[in-house]
Structure 1
Amino acid sequence: MILSGTQVEYEAVMEAARLMLASIRTAPKARGLDTISSCVLTGNDKQKVADWLKEQKERPQFFERDGMCVEKAQALQGKDYAGPNCVFKLIDLGIALGSAVKTAGFLNVDNRIFYTAGTAAKQLGLLKGADIIIGIPLALAGKSPFFDR
């Protein structure tokens, strides 16, 4: 059997995304209370985020730029903002995000934290009940699509 590089790379990104969710779950939390939700977007849901970002002409130009980056990703790992928010929960989120991108980096999966992708996911209602959503697009490519944004 011959497996194409494209298929194996996609499967590797999905496995990295699963391990990133584990990193989020096991990241230290203030007072030991875990209030972080996480998910992985692929296919049409990921494309909806990319399209929404690229359509935001009244927002800063980097929304469109980030939409093009999300479009190049194989997956979008997700976490606009309601408030006020407890500082401990925000610190927990920062630690969990750092833990997730550390895992992706350790696995040599290109990634970048995009609040814009989270804004799109929030506007599209993709992660119900989340007050703050941050997106982490993931890709395996010869050159990271998130580097020369």
Structure 2
Amino acid sequence: MTIKDTVRTVGDLMELAARTAPKGLGQDFIEIKVLTDEERIALGNDMLEISKERSNYGFERDGRNVLGSDAVVLIGLLPHKGAGLNCQACGFASCAEFNERSSHGEFDGPNCAIRLLDLGIALGSAAKIASDLNVDNRIMYRIGVPAKRLGISKANISHGIPLSATGKNIYFDRSKK
């Protein structure tokens, strides 16, 4: 087994941790996927394209990190209705009003605050597994943009966690340009 194979196994364990992470009202709207190498490379290359299109160096820097990674775990929030709590954290007076709205852009919305918390807990649970197993990682929202654009993700909003096992963490001390 190579180091890359071991890192992918850690990605599988991260997928398990995100799946079993606590979810509001016991309902699961979390999409989790360990990307294939082909998907990872397409994603990284699209991030470089987005950087050029938007003159946004962050996409280039993060895209290079994705291309230099051993694996990427994608975690997102699938389309959903309001949790039924009428808590107004989404900015609407009720879940019924929330359920009538939709917007589409870089990410889709609106999103229920309870469900977004579920996404955050899933991301944290997955990143903790990588950290506990000494695999370098960093949660990146920019990964979600090309994941949606390329059809890799069906989520309203997603983040990616690239994984690397080298002598130096590639996700820190990065150029700010």
TM-score normalized with structure 1 length: 0.91
Quick one: percent identity of the two aligned structures? 46
The unaligned stretches of length 5 or more in structure 2 are 76-105
Corresponding position: 1:145 with 2:156: no
Root-mean-square deviation (CA, aligned residues, Å) is: 1.0
Question: 1:36-68, CA deviations, whole angstroms, 9 ceiling, x for partnerless residues?
Answer: 010011321100011011112132210011000
Is the contact made by 1:30 and 1:89 (CA closer than 8 Å) also made in structure 2?
A: yes
Moved more, 71-80 or 82-91: 71-80
- Unpaired runs of 5+ in structure 1? 1-6
Moved over 6 A (4+): none
User: Which residue type is aligned with residue 49 of structure 1?
Assistant: L
1:94 — aligned with what? 120
CA contact (8 A) 1:42 1:74 kept: no
TM-score under structure 2 normalisation? 0.77
Residue 75 (structure 2) pairs with residue 50 (structure 1): no
Give the secondary structure class of the aligned counterpart of 1:120.
helix
Q: How does 1:1-149 map to 2 (within 5 A)?
A: 8-56=2-50, 57-59=52-54, 60-79=56-75, 80-127=106-153, 129-149=154-174
Q: Which has the larger radius of gyration?
A: 2
Output the CA distance in 2 between the equivalents of 1:42 and 1:108: 21
Alignment deviations for residues 92-149 of structure 1 (CA, whole Å, 9 cap, x no partner): 000110000000000000100011111111111102x311111110111111111122
